[in-house]
Amino acid sequence: MGRVLNVYCSKSGIAVDYDQKKIYLDPRSSVECDYIFVSHAHMDHLHRTKTKHDATRVITSAATLRIAHTRGYELKNFCNDHSFQLLDTGHILGSNGLLIDDELYYTGDISVRKRAFMNPAVIPKTKNLIIESTFGREDYIFPKTDIVIHEVNAIISEIFHHGRPVVLLGYPLGKAQVLTELFHHWEPLYAEDSIIEMNCLYSELGVNISTPKSYSLAEREGLLSRDIPWVLIAPLNSARNGFLEHLRRKYSPITIGFSGWGIKPNFKYVLGLDYCFPLSDHCDFNELVTVVEKCCPERIYTCHGFDNDFASALRNLGFDATPVQTRSKANKEKIRNSSVLTDWW
């Protein structure tokens, strides 16, 4: 009889029972189990341990461990003595999926596009797949990256022709570093200080990335003006906060945001931006389907984002797919073969 594999969802997130071990995947809070897997260092995938004596072993990449520490998260009991395989998911530096034998693959956040120094995800064959569904609806299909870059360069060129500054906005970890490389040819180029810190960390971790002058230093040196063109890379989460308002009042820049949600025409108005382009660190709908096809799984669990929509679309394509949360709540189906999945929470 084969090993028993249980996939279910608790209040702390997705859990897997396999070979008498309990593994939590990107839990939202501290949990008691054998292993915790942290796929990458975005804050919605990190948690803080409850006590200093938490003995749960943490599986993650060395880069994620370092980045998490820089962001104020101590991933205690880091463990590299395990039988699992970590595979690059192409999302941000250090992002990995977890492969458990050939029984189960958890993608975490994933991208199959080449973007600057970021390579496409490594996709394994597996019997069971847990896949993120952030953009798991058919209306989320992104243009090619080269097309986006060309359009943005054309806009920057026009803005520079009129002698005005430009602010490029992306998530400070991952997207901002890609933007630095994609648009480093524009001069003068500056970056908000927290992005400079992360760029420097990327360099320390072996990524050949440009390090522009920091915004604060440029402002102190009087290098910024509303009457001359320059480019600043800033955090997208600053789009509605005081920092961007300060920039608008003082320098009147044109603002360009980058997010997969930018595929929707009204998203730029939600953020209060002049432009927003769908440059994402996630797969679009078609790319998610490609990941599924390459994994060739017998059973698929969708999670996060449009998990219900994506599971439904996969069923229409002939796959056995269900959202993790739905299967956990149903607590009905039991499958026994060389890979056994049960839902018992």
Strand order in the sheet with 231-235: 213-214, 189-191, 231-235, 166-170, 254-258, 275-277
| 184 and 248 belong to one structural domain | yes
- pLDDT value at 260 more than 90: yes
The answer, yes or no, to whether residue 339 has pLDDT greater than 60, is no
Please give the average per-residue pLDDT across 155-170, as a whole number.
97
Q: How far apart are CA 161 and CA 280, in angstroms?
A: 28
Four-residue CA torsion sign, 296, 301, 304, 308: positive
Per-residue pLDDT, averaged over 124-144, amounts to 98
Residues 17 and 6: beta-carbon distance below 8 Å: yes
At residue 12, the pLDDT reads 87
Answer yes or no: is pLDDT of 234 > 60: yes
Which of 277, 296, 315 represents a domain boundary (last residue)?
A: 277
Residue 64 scores a pLDDT above 90: yes
Residue 200 is part of a domain; what is its CATH number?
A: 3.40.50.10890
72-81, 89-98, 273-282, 303-312, range with the lowest pLDDT: 72-81
| 51 vs 138, higher pLDDT | 138
Mean pLDDT of 56-75: 93
pLDDT of residue 121: 98
97-111, 198-212, 228-242, 327-341: least confidently modelled range: 327-341
Provide the domain count of the chain: 2
- Its domain, for residue 55, covers 5-140+282-342
Do 130 and 153 belong together in one domain? Answer: no
What SS3 state is found at 13?
strand
Pairwise pLDDT comparison (46 vs 295), residue with the higher score:
295
Tokens of 235: 């955090």
Q: What is the pLDDT of residue 312?
A: 98
Average pLDDT over residues 107-131: 97
pLDDT value, residue 343: 24
Same domain, 131 and 208: no
Percent of residues in the chain assigned helix, strand, coil, to nearest 5: 30, 25, 45
Of 277, 299, 326, the residue at which a domain comes to its end is: 277
Domain stops at, among 228, 258, 277: 277
Beta strand 321-323 with 35-37 is unpaired
| pLDDT for residue 182 is more than 70 | yes
List the end-to-end C-alpha distance of the chain, in Å, as a whole number.
Answer: 23
Which amino acid belongs to residue 220?
R
245/266 same-domain check? yes
Task: Please say if the pLDDT value at position 54 is more than 80.
Answer: no
> Taking residues 141-166, what's their average pLDDT?
98
User: Which pairs with CB-CB distance under 8 Å and at least 24 residues apart come from 156-161?
Assistant: 156/183, 156/186, 156/231, 156/256, 159/229, 159/254, 160/186, 160/229
Is 108:91 a contact under the CB 8 Å cutoff?
yes
Q: Is the model's pLDDT at 55 over the cut of 70?
A: no
The two tokens of residue 267 are 């998203």
Tell whether 136 and 13 lie within a shared domain: yes
207, 115: one domain:
no
User: What's the CATH number where 298 sits?
Assistant: 3.60.15.10
CA distance 201 to 164: 31
Q: How far is CA 158 from CA 66, 155, 163, 296, in A?
A: 40, 5, 9, 47
Q: What is the 3-state secondary structure (H, E, C) of 134-198?
A: CCCCCCCCCCCHHHHHHHHHHHHHHHHHCCCCEEEEECCCCHHHHHHHHCCCCCCEEECHHHHHH
Shared-domain flag, residues 310 and 243: no
Q: What is the pTM of this model?
A: 0.90
Q: pLDDT band at residue 3, thresholds of 50, 70 and 90? A: confident
Do residue 106 and residue 162 come from a single domain?
A: no
Q: Tell whether the model's pLDDT for residue 315 goes beyond 80.
A: yes
Residues 40 and 68 reside in one and the same domain: yes
pLDDT band at 345 (very low <50, low <70, confident <90, very high): very low
Strand 341-342 and strand 334-335: the pairing is: antiparallel
Mean pLDDT of the chain: 90
CA separation for the pair 35, 247 (Å, rounded): 45
Domain identity same for 266 and 335: no
| Contact between 6 and 341 (Cβ < 8 Å) | yes
CA distances from 138 to 78, 131, 159, 307 (A): 39, 16, 34, 12
Report how far residue 298's alpha carbon sits from residue 126's, in angstroms, rounded to the nearest whole number: 8
Together in a domain, 268 and 304:
no
Residue 329: pLDDT over 80 = no
Residues 134 and 9 in one domain: yes
